[in-house]
Amino acid sequence: MDYSDYFQQKPPSKQLRFYINLTFCLLVGGIAAAVATTLGNMSNTAIVLGSLAIAILPILLIVWVHDDKLTASLLIAAIAFSLPLNIDANLFYRHHVGGASGITINITVILLFVFFFVWAYRHSIGAQKHFIKIYPPLGWAALVLLTLPLLSLVNAKDIGLAGLEWIRLLCLVLAMLATMSLQSERLIKLWVFILSVQVFIQAGLAAAQYTLHRNLGLDIFGEKEIVRQNIGYIASRATGTLGHPNILSYFFEILAPIMLALALSKQPKIHRLWYAMAFAACIGGVLTTLSRGSWLTFPFSLTIVFVFIYGQRIVRVKAGSVIFILGCFLTVMLYFAYPVIEKRFTHTDYKSSASRMPLNYAALSIIEQYPATGIGLNNFADSFKRYDTTGYSRIFSGYQHVVHNLHLWIITEVGIIGFIAFIAPFFITMRIAWKIAPRAPPIPKAILIGISAGLLAHLAHGMVSPGFRISVTVSFLIFTLMGLSGAIAMRYAPKQPKISAANNT
């Protein structure tokens, strides 16, 4: 069943359209006035965000008068471009490590609200048939994600922290719903293209940070202090604008399979070359992060892309030549990167790796006590030492942190029941690629396979890392990609045969 049928209507009359336009203009003015009055005593970042909020809607509505398609394209491009930018402010901020420490208002959140505002406007004047579209499996998964983790509140010591995390989950679900409602293959392709542009930008910033051994003065966009790592010499781990090298590595490991899949798909050569270069930028970028976990995901995720893009054609000469060329490219990169990789794996990491298993055992001791519903959503860091029966959590001496295992972190907080809710959207997205990709055209097929491989790589990396839950930017990236898969699934899902009246008798 397509739930979007509930959000359809006939185009309004000219008189009704005038009143709709007037109402939206008054609403825009009211929002702008309300935002403007609150900016006086706020931080520079908050002022930037507020100014953007005031400016974006009128600009889009002015553009809309001249070209509604351009308005939609500009908005989608802006949202996709904003994902790795850490321009944010926190409401109700609390000092907390791990999940949400406040209600994060960043440029992506603002643009998502603008998206729904503009999509409602387009629908109200008859410019598009649907307001929103929902792919039922992902729609149900989103509802479950917002519901089942609430069961953990029965054991939560801090309901406030759980509430902050739930609001973040709600924002992520809205992000998924937005990309699921693009309703145009042109906009889907534009979204992925803008992500590829950000790949080049982040890789360029990472290369500059790595080679110059210093920040680039981009604090307003989320750049943080360069992380130093002793690997036999002091190396600078790049952060891009995502704030930490591990989080930047998540960005590259998720997008690299998409870039490779598009580079291998049937489309104009100039487009394939662009995505091949974007893939190379992902590889170069992730090397500058010195993230061993991300490095280890690439053989796994890239093999998936090859197998599913080529299928049985993988044994043909053309496929073999492409694999050979790519293998040569990766070999050359490995040759130059090998000294750094070898030192990163063999030089002491000051017990960073050795501490992971004891922390896993500590988390397992808590799971044994609260297997079904956990100790409370977003309550891990504050409760780790309280419930740990092994004593290993005291590795975090004098400070709090979460276990370096995404899956154990989630199960500890929300139990097995909540873990199923968290993991369901990932596996539904992979199921979409399995079922829909074989019947989709080359580019949507490549996007589906690339998204599935990237998300699977991130789940694998989550075995040794906190994963997406520690980063708002990566969380939005993941959930918007899930929504993109749903949008493609609705376009290319097999049509159900209609049952005639004669067959009913």
Contact partners, residue 229, CB within 8 Å, separation at least 6: 235, 236, 237, 290, 344
Tallying the residues shown for the chain, one arrives at 505
User: In this model, does residue 327 exceed pLDDT 80?
Assistant: no
Q: In this predicted structure, which of 70-74, 275-279, 316-320, 353-357 has the lowest mean pLDDT?
A: 316-320
Q: How far is CA 415 from CA 362, 370, 388, 469, in A?
A: 15, 7, 15, 16
- Rounded-to-integer distance, Cα 386 and Cα 362, Å: 11
3-state secondary structure of 234: strand
pLDDT, tens digit, for every residue of 119-168? 887 777 777 777 888 999 999 999 999 999 999 999 999 999 999 999 99
In the chain, where the domains are located: 3-135, 185-359+381-492
What's the mean pLDDT when you consider all of the chain? 82
The DSSP code for 391 is S
pLDDT over 90 (residue 44): no
C-alpha–C-alpha distance, residues 202 and 278, integer Å: 11
CA-CA distances (angstroms) from residue 131 to 134, 279, 406, 476? 10, 34, 35, 21
**What does the pLDDT read at residue 28?**
56
What's the distance, CA 411 to chain centroid?
A: 21
Q: How far is CA 390 from CA 384, 393, 416, in A?
A: 11, 8, 21
In the chain, what is the straight-line distance between the N-terminal and C-terminal CA atoms, in Å?
Answer: 24
Give the side-chain half-sphere CA count within 13 A for 286: 24
pTM: 0.85
Nearest to 458 by CA among 281, 291, 277, 285: 291
Tokens at residue 69, please? 């398609």
The tens digit of pLDDT for each residue in 431-447 reads 999 999 888 899 999 99
* Structure confidence at residue 218 (pLDDT): 80
Tally Cβ neighbours within 10 Å of residue 251: 29
Task: Please report which confidence band the pLDDT of residue 105 belongs to, taking 50, 70 and 90 as the band edges.
Answer: confident
Other Cβ atoms closer than 10 A to 347: 14
Question: What's the chain's Rg over C-alpha atoms?
Answer: 24
- In this predicted model, what pLDDT tens digit does every residue of 391-450 receive, in sequence order? 888 877 766 778 889 999 999 999 999 999 999 999 999 999 999 988 889 999 999 999
